[in-house]
Amino acid sequence: MAIMAKIEAVLIADDASTFVTREIDGVELSFGGIEGDRHFGLFAKADSRQPMYKRGQEIMNRRQLSIVSVEELQGIAQRLGVETIKPEWLGANIVVSGVPELTKLPMGIRMILPSGGGIVCEGENEPCAGPGKQIANYYGDRSLTQQFIKHAGQSRGIVAYVERPGEIKPGDLVEIQI
Amino acid sequence: MAIMAKIEAVLIADDASTFVTREIDGVELSFGGIEGDRHFGLFAKADSRQPMYKRGQEIMNRRQLSIVSVEELQGIAQRLGVETIKPEWLGANIVVSGVPELTKLPMGIRMILPSGGGIVCEGENEPCAGPGKQIANYYGDRSLTQQFIKHAGQSRGIVAYVERPGEIKPGDLVEIQI
């Protein structure tokens, strides 16, 4: 079975001072993710998200890309009572539409791009305070930081890695192989 | 939740003429798997198991290690009516005990070694004719090749990759993090 999703935006975190991303026209995905992005690399240092390893130990990077869906961001915005949640505030690299339950995609699932490239889902990207603070700053309401953590669970998107390099750009139709 | 499994054997396929493995005392797992093994490498060529890519294209190697369980091999042997199924005939790299349903482990699940190393499950290793032929040759019964394919489904073990290098050896207790 396959779901067809549409790429709505591609973004990069290339400002060393922040995880916030900015929109780009498209990019050639490499082994390791998006070159120049703060999460790029075949390897990464273990942190609080990998408590089974010592902090700072080198591990395979399963969190190269952050992917969110238009539908889920709209749902979070509604629950927070705000007009919109911009993907850049969440550090998203890829925005898709047509996948209302993106965050529930199981680990290991492939997304195949028209270019021939392939991305593998590594499961839910659990909400943390960073994006919440961006939202709180924008709307001038500090309570939104905690509300984001509370209301974005199971809809904040997934992390993924590049299995096969290839171009990705807005307008692409992606095949999600369930 | 965690299941504790015991490492019963470690094996390597280091004879270029065959996928059949041989037992070794233990090994230092590297990024890419077991150095010198035919499936070692961070990258691999796409083949019939990855029909979404063109054959021969370079992709991330999600099939570095083959893991089987004592309990499941016994089950296959019973269904085939033979005394034993040796893990080397299946090209297994790691034999565990204490995991009766190893093959049903979902993709993405971690196995943490006492050395601090970590392995990630990449799902079922589907039965093919190669191991069946080894079994058929050993028992002098050609029908066993097809019987293996028929009766080994969902019990032929999993493939996996190394997330964090570290030693693995017989006797190790491994934590499978469900």
Q: Would an 8 Å CB–CB cutoff place A46 in contact with chain B?
A: yes
Sign of the CA dihedral with B56 first, then B60, B64, and B67 last: negative
Among B29, B31, B64, B107, the residue to mutate for chain A (most A Cβ within 10 A): B107
pLDDT at position B59 is: 98
* CB-CB under 8 Å, A162 with B60: yes
- Residue that the structure tokens 């190393």 belong to: B117
B140 at A interface, C-beta within 8 A = no
Q: Chain B residue with minimal CA distance to A58?
A: B164
Give residue-wise pLDDT tens across range B38-48. Answer: 999 999 999 99
pLDDT of the residue at B164? 98
Phi-psi region for residue B141, left (φ > 0), alpha (ψ -120 to 50) or beta? beta
- Contact assignment for A164 to B108 by CB distance below 8 Å: no
pLDDT at B119: 98
Q: Which residue has the tokens 């960073």?
A: A130
Nearest to A52 among B58, B107, B112 (CB): B112
Q: B118 vs A62: CB contact, 8 Å cut-off?
A: no
Output the pLDDT for position A39: 97
pLDDT of residue A174: 98
Overall average pLDDT of the B71-81 stretch: 97
Minimal Cβ distance to B106: which of A106, A122, A163: A106
Residue A108 touches chain B, beta carbons under 8 Å? yes
pLDDT score recorded for residue B128: 86
A85, two tokens: 């949640």
**What pTM does this model have?**
0.96
pLDDT in the model for residue A1 = 84
- pLDDT tens digits, one per residue of B129-166: 899 999 999 999 999 999 999 999 999 999 999 999 99
* Number of Cβ within a 10 Å radius of residue B177: 12
CA distance B161 to B44: 12
Of A43, A106, A110, the CB nearest to B52: A110
Residue B30 with chain A: CB contacts under 8 Å? none
CB contact under 8 A, A107 and B107: yes
List residues bridging with A45 in a β-sheet: A58
Q: Do B108 and A112 touch (CB under 8 A)?
A: no
What is the CATH number for A161? 2.40.33.20
Task: Give how far B143 is from chain A: nearest CA, Å.
Answer: 33
Q: Tell me how far apart the alpha carbons of residues B37 and B21 are, in angstroms, rounded to a whole number.
A: 9
Q: Do B108 and A110 lie within an 8 Å CB cutoff?
A: no
- State which residues form the domain around A23: 2-177
Quote the number of domains for chain B: 1
Asked if the model's pLDDT at residue B104 lies above 90, the reply is yes
- What's the pLDDT at B1? 84
Residue recorded with tokens 């590297």: B30
Residue A177 touches partner B, C-beta closer than 8 Å? yes
Q: Which token pair is A169?
A: 């750009």
Q: Is a pLDDT exceeding 90 seen at residue B100?
A: no
In Å, how far from its chain's centre is CA B116? 20
Return the axis-axis angle of helices B70-80 and B144-151, rounded to nearest 10°: 130
Contact assignment for A108 to B116 by CB distance below 8 Å: no
DSSP one-letter code for B58:
E
Can you tell me whether residue B150 is helix, strand or coil?
helix
CA-based torsion, A114, A118, A122, A128: positive or negative: negative
Q: Does residue B122 belong to the interface with chain A, where contact is any CB pair within 8 Å?
A: yes
Check A120 against B177: CB less than 8 A apart.
no
Mean pLDDT computed over B24-38: 98
- What span, in angstroms and rounded, lies between the C-alpha atoms of B141 and B147? 10
Radius of gyration (Cα) for chain A, nearest Å?
15
- Flag whether residue A75 sits within 8 Å of chain B, measured between CB atoms: no
Of chain A, the end-to-end C-alpha distance in Å amounts to: 5
pLDDT by residue for chain A (178 residues), tens only, comes to: 899 999 999 999 999 999 999 999 999 999 999 999 999 999 999 999 999 999 999 999 999 999 999 999 999 999 999 999 999 999 999 999 999 899 999 999 999 999 999 999 999 998 888 999 999 999 999 999 999 999 999 999 999 999 999 999 999 999 999 8
Would you give the DSSP letter of residue A77?
Answer: H
**Residue A11, both tokens:** 């973004």
